[in-house]
Amino acid sequence: MSSDEDEYINNALFQEPNDYFQPAKPPTHTSYTLLSGQTLHLRLVGHNPLWAHHLWNGSRALSTYLQQHAPLLATGKTILELGAGAGLPSLVGAILGARKVVVTDYPDAELIDNLLQNIATCALLPQPATAVVAEGYRWGASTRHILAHLPSPEQGFDILLLADLLFNHRCHDGIVSTIVQTLARSSEARALVFFTPYRPWLLEKDMAFFDLCREKGLEVGKVVEQVMEKVMFEKDRGDELLRRTVFGYEVRWKDLIETQ
């Protein structure tokens, strides 16, 4: 190789284009109206490769469902949310009187800081908002630091919240593992899994998540099907009605349900 070629490789070939590193996008803000008519304001990260810069339809639908069934799903309960993004369902659960809420997302400093800010600035939370904590967590990892927030860590959480996580097909095993580790061994405990098939041609892969749940001794039941006003991503391809529809499922311990 000539010295000219050497110089080209060192100075040009492995250099990033001038516009490769885009400037960081500033945070944005959105809102959600509770069934009571009150407005909950949320901060979203400016941009994130894990898509936390969106308030997903699954989060909105799950938050509404929590309000419709507050005595069963929120009031006095211990709640864990996975992949929370802005943390809307967790905040709603806390507003409805949950005993303890642990809201989690991938252990990225920006994501966790954003959750902490949404907790700190939520005027609708009972004050001081000590019932809500934010933690970084990677699906499938040890849950010891998550369970440590409970009065009795060995008992697990009454309610798990999962909104629009199923498109991460490679992460299904880790998510199911986390459910098994954290869901209380109680006939009343349940994981609420809400999702939209944003890529309708992959719906079968989305639904494969529930087969993994069944393999772990969990019972799966559909609880809601809600058509949202708008699609999340207008330019996406595939059946628009499916891309507007949120499907909600309830996951519970099968053996405990059967002995009721």
For 190-238, how does the pLDDT look when each residue is reduced to its tens digit (9 = 90+)? Answer: 999 999 999 999 999 999 999 999 999 999 999 999 999 988 887 888 9
Domains and CATH numbers, the chain: 30-258 (3.40.50.150)
- Measured in degrees and rounded to the nearest 5, phi and psi for residue 42 equal -130, 145
- What is the arithmetic mean of pLDDT over 28-39? 95
pLDDT (0 to 100) of residue 27:
81
Task: Compute the average pLDDT of residues 44-58.
Answer: 75
CA distances from 93 to 47, 89, 100, 232 (A): 26, 6, 9, 24
Which run of H or E residues covers position 190? strand 190-195
Is 85 marked as a binding-site residue?
yes
- % of the chain residues with pLDDT over 70: 88
Other beta carbons within 10 angstroms of residue 31's beta carbon come to 9
pLDDT tens digits for 81-91?
999 999 999 99
Bridge partners, 222 (sequence order): 249
- pTM given for the model: 0.89
Kindly indicate the confidence band of residue 25, based on its pLDDT and cuts at 50, 70 and 90.
confident
More confident call, 2 vs 80: 80
Specify the pLDDT at position 160.
98
Residue 21 has pLDDT above 90, yes or no: no
> Is position 255 annotated in a ligand binding site?
no
Task: Identify whether the C-beta of residue 219 lies closer than 8 Å to the C-beta of residue 31.
Answer: no
At 78, give phi and psi (nearest 5°).
-100, 130
Mean pLDDT for all residues in the chain: 89
Query: According to the annotation, is 109 in a ligand binding site?
Result: no
253 annotated binding-site participant:
no
For 238, the token pair is 């595939």
Element (H, E) at 250: strand 245-253
Q: Between 203-215 and 172-182, two packed helices, what is the crossing angle to 10 degrees?
A: 40
What per-residue confidence (pLDDT) applies to 260?
65
Residue 14 has pLDDT above 90, yes or no: no
Of residues 8 and 203, more confidently modeled: 203
pLDDT band with cut points at 50, 70 and 90 for residue 12: very low
Report CA-CA distances (Å) from 24 to 45, 49, 113, 116, 120.
Answer: 10, 12, 16, 20, 23
* Residue of 9 and 57 predicted with greater confidence: 57
Residue 156 annotated as part of some ligand binding site? no
**Ramachandran angles phi, psi of 27, nearest 5°:** -60, 155
Which pLDDT belongs to residue 2?
45
Contact indicator for 160, 94 with CB cutoff of 8 Å = no
Q: What local confidence, expressed as pLDDT, does residue 23 receive?
A: 56
For 154-166, what is each residue's pLDDT tens digit? 999 999 999 999 9
The model's pLDDT over 97-147, given as tens digits with 9 standing for 90+, comes to 999 999 999 999 999 999 999 999 999 998 777 899 999 999 999 999 999
Q: Stretch 51-76: mean pLDDT, rounded?
A: 92
CA distance readout (Å), 65 to 20, 168, 226, 239, 246? 42, 23, 10, 25, 11
pLDDT at 257: 85
- Is the predicted pLDDT of residue 6 greater than 50, yes or no? no
Does residue 41 carry a pLDDT above 50? yes
